[in-house]
Amino acid sequence: MKNSSQLTVALAQIAPVWLDRSKTLEKVITQIQEASKNDADLIVFGEALVPGYPFWLALTGGAEWNTNINKELHAHYVKQAVCIEEGDLDEVCAAAKENEIAIYLGIIERPQDRGGHSIYASLVYISKEGAIESVHRKLQPTYDERLTWSPGDGNGLQTHKLPPFTVGGLNCWENWMPLPRASLYAQGENLHVAVWPGSDHNTKDITRFIARESRSYVVSVSALMNIDDFPQDTPYLEKILENAPKTLANGGSCVAGPDGEWILEPILNKSGNFYVTLDFDRVLEERQNFDPVGHYSRPDVTKLTVNTERQSTVKFKNGE
């Protein structure tokens, strides 16, 4: 039996049905249902899980200008991206409500408020009531990701109450960005969610570092991807696999406690939900000697300004 100071988290380390939005969402809902049966309060999925990470960029000359392969794969990717306004996440929201579980889900978003043609690596928070409470568009796509993903904005730099914790999250390498981290700390974050496309080389150091810096729990969740996970009907599959390693993402999902020590060490090459139960009192214990936005801060000397306005290229006025 959990007490009022505890929260159970499911780390959903799975592979997408690559570049297939509908089939990947079916897998997501299956993991949600399983997590609920295991009494989880929160389930977390990896970065860009729906419909998958753009692995072809590093394998097929993604920076080559005006080539058919890059244009056609990009167009396919955009068509399989998630349009929240068109209801692509409605069934996931319904599953959250039915199973009384909160969700952090990494998606490739095709938002209508930016015209509906560009895509963003977004981290969506869905409450236990089935409501989408924030959509955080990755602030700075990393390296070759910039060839297909657009830079986001500060609108999704939000935290959410999930008693007894306050949760917040970032995508992949923006977890290395000190100021976005600080913006979440200042909003009371004490359970940090870091989502990744996969691989322990990303998670094994930063997970413990953020935990020690923030004196919070840090849950890192990655996806999996092997060459066998590519559907046979993937455009240019032969060209993608020509230079692909057998394992493109080996997982590495893990959890660190507020003292920076492992609660769950990185899990490699295993698919499924992995569970941890976290005790909020440990946060208070570790904040006794260090609190980065509380007693161990000097806002009179250094202070952060955050623009949370959702960015757009146009603002319409009704003319009245």
What secondary structure does DSSP assign to 163-177, as a single string? TTEEEEEEEGGGGG-
CB 170 within 8 A of CB 121: no
Rounded to whole angstroms, the Cα distance separating 111 from 14 reads: 25
Looking at the DSSP bridge assignments, the partners of residue 299 are none
Q: What domains are there in the chain, each with its CATH number? A: 6-287 (3.60.110.10)
Rounded to whole angstroms, the Cα distance separating 176 from 71 reads: 31
Rg (CA), the chain: 19
Look up residue 72 and give its amino acid: E
Q: Which of 48, 57, 61, 176 is nearest to 119 (CA)?
A: 48
The token pair at 7 is 């929260």
pLDDT given for residue 316 in this prediction: 86
Report the chain's terminal Cα–Cα distance, integer Å.
59
Which residue in the block uniquely carries the two structure tokens 């897998």? 27
Q: Which of 220, 215, 212, 218 is nearest to 196 (CA)?
A: 220
Instruction: Enumerate residues 6+ apart whose C-beta is below 8 A from 178.
Output: none
The token pair at 212 is 């020690």
User: Digits of tens for pLDDT over the chain (320 positions)?
Assistant: 778 999 999 999 999 999 999 999 999 999 999 999 999 999 999 999 999 999 999 999 888 999 999 999 999 999 999 999 999 999 999 999 999 999 999 999 999 999 999 999 999 999 999 999 999 999 999 999 999 999 999 999 999 999 999 999 999 999 999 999 999 999 999 999 999 998 999 999 999 999 999 999 999 999 999 999 999 999 999 999 998 999 999 999 999 999 999 999 999 999 999 999 999 999 999 999 999 999 999 999 999 999 999 999 888 888 65
The number of angstroms, rounded, from the C-alpha of 138 to the middle of its chain's C-alpha atoms is 9
Beta strands in 111-174 (DSSP E): 120-126, 132-137, 160-162, 165-171
pLDDT given for residue 100 in this prediction: 98
CA–CA distance from 313 to each of 114, 118, 148, 316 (Å)? 7, 13, 19, 10
Q: What is the pTM of this model?
A: 0.96
pLDDT given for residue 320 in this prediction: 55
Judged by DSSP in three states, 256 sits in strand
Measured on CA atoms in the order 161, 141, 154, 137, is the torsion positive or negative?
negative
Q: Is the peptide bond preceding residue 164 cis, with omega within 30 degrees of 0?
A: yes
pLDDT given for residue 319 in this prediction: 61
Rounded to whole angstroms, the Cα distance separating 88 from 108 reads: 11
CB 93 within 8 A of CB 80: no
